[in-house]
Amino acid sequence: MHAISEAERRARLGRRHALADGHRAASVTDAARAVVALHGTDPATTVLSALARTRGSTPADVERALYDDRDLVRVLAMRRTVFAVPRETAGTCLVGAGDVVAVEQRRLLLKSLAAAGIAGDLGAWVARAEEAAMTAIRAAGEVTSAELAQADSLLATRVQLGSGATVATPTVASRLMTLLSAEGKVVRTRPRGGWTSTQFRWSTMAAWCDLGELPDRDAAIGELARRWLHAYGPATLDDLQWWAGWTKTRTRAAVASLDTVEVDLDGRPGIVLADDAEMVEPLEPWVALLPALDPTTMGWKHRDFVLGPHRQQLFDLNGNAGPTVWVNGRIVGGWAQRDDGEVVVELLQDVGAEPAAAIERTAAELTAMLGDIRLKARARGWTAVEKRLRA
């Protein structure tokens, strides 16, 4: 069995993920293509991940791709996570992974309605609420969840999620938007406020952009697996299953549709696309400061080949990555933005004088770019490194 070393895997991601000098993406949309999808639950991550993979791009370029040209589209798909994906990939993500999310979200909505004491045919109740929501969105063009809740009494109904200290009582309008976005019927559009705002407006997908003819499910899961393996391979089946949020059965079916070969990943069985098994050349030294929840940091279930012993310092208790510092494909530390706006770094291992100096320059550039913007820990907790740096 052909062996692919950790060093070669790191060299591959430097190229494929548009992080190494000389391999940057030509546009923010190409940056998304390089990693299949940019994480979008925290909108700041989408912007910072795109800028880390391009030269000379600005937050305005990302906003233009998302809201004006609409070359990037926000979808709720893999792992019930919001991603900003190239428009040509959106249908593949929705059909190949969003369907799993949609089924679960519909089940949870019905369960929460029953717990709220709603009587009768709950499926029919949800259908009426969905029609009311879609009618209101079509009439307004774009609406917030709060505005939608005012459009119909069904949509204003509140349900309970969680219990105790973590209890929440969102409206049905809010829960429906989650469900309908996974089904590809609605889409998050330009938020209120700046590029870090989470107060999204909603539009119908049909009014927002044309996704073209959607693939069937088998084609979608195969294409999604192929794109992921090209960007993140070689990798294990566990890695693909985790990233996509699939079952073992769907993962095996997706891989079976592709031409792959088995490889040895330092004692762990893995796969790589058959036309991508050749050894790659080493890269020139490179550094990067990647934001929390960046797709490269979150790209595999088994991350030791990039993360080493630093998991407890750089991930929260739920397994969400904080901001990370990279040198030549290794995560070597973390960074944070202090309340005065300065981006500061903590290295967790010795990297040498030249990489350390390059990291400091990159941190200063990021400080200048952020300006008055202040980053928060959204959709995750502060990491141990962030807490120390922000103290």
Domain boundaries, the chain: 308-390
CA distance between the termini of the chain = 50
Tell me how far apart the alpha carbons of residues 285 and 296 are, in angstroms, rounded to a whole number. 18
Q: Spell out the residues 6+ positions from residue 358 whose beta carbon is closer than 8 angstroms to its own.
A: 287
Length of the chain as a residue count: 391
Rg of the chain taking only CA atoms, in angstroms? 21
The percent of residues in the chain predicted with pLDDT above 90, rounded, is 93
Whole-number pLDDT of residue 281: 86
Residue 30 host element (H or E): helix 28-34
Whole-number pLDDT of residue 167: 72
Whole-number pLDDT of residue 109: 94
* 225 neighbors 255 (Cβ within 8 angstroms): yes
Whole-number pLDDT of residue 2: 86
Whole-number pLDDT of residue 133: 97
φ/ψ region of 56 (left if φ > 0, alpha if ψ in -120 to 50, else beta) reads left
DSSP string, 164-224: GGG-B--BHHHHHHHHHHHTTSEEE-PPSSSTT-----EEEHHHH----SPPPHHHHHHHH
What angle, rounded to 10 degrees, do the helices at 217-232 and 248-256 form?
80
The parts of the chain modelled with pLDDT lower than 70 are: 164-165
Q: Helices marked H in 245-322 — which ranges?
A: 248-256, 304-307, 311-314
Q: Spell out the residues 6+ positions from residue 111 whose beta carbon is closer than 8 angstroms to its own.
A: none
Tell me how far apart the alpha carbons of residues 6 and 203 are, in angstroms, rounded to a whole number. 44
Whole-number pLDDT of residue 52: 98
DSSP conformation class of 279: P
State the chain's maximal CA–CA distance in angstroms: 69
The β-bridge relationship of strands 260-265 and 2-3 is: parallel
Tell me how far apart the alpha carbons of residues 226 and 192 are, in angstroms, rounded to a whole number. 36
Tell me how far apart the alpha carbons of residues 335 and 382 are, in angstroms, rounded to a whole number. 11
* 119 neighbors 98 (Cβ within 8 angstroms): no
pLDDT per residue as tens digits for the range 95-139: 999 999 999 999 999 999 998 899 899 999 999 999 999 999 999
DSSP conformation class of 68: I
DSSP string, 91-153: HHHIIIIIHHHHHHHHHHHHHHHHHTT--S-HHHHHHHHHHHHHHHHHHHSSB-HHHHHTT-H
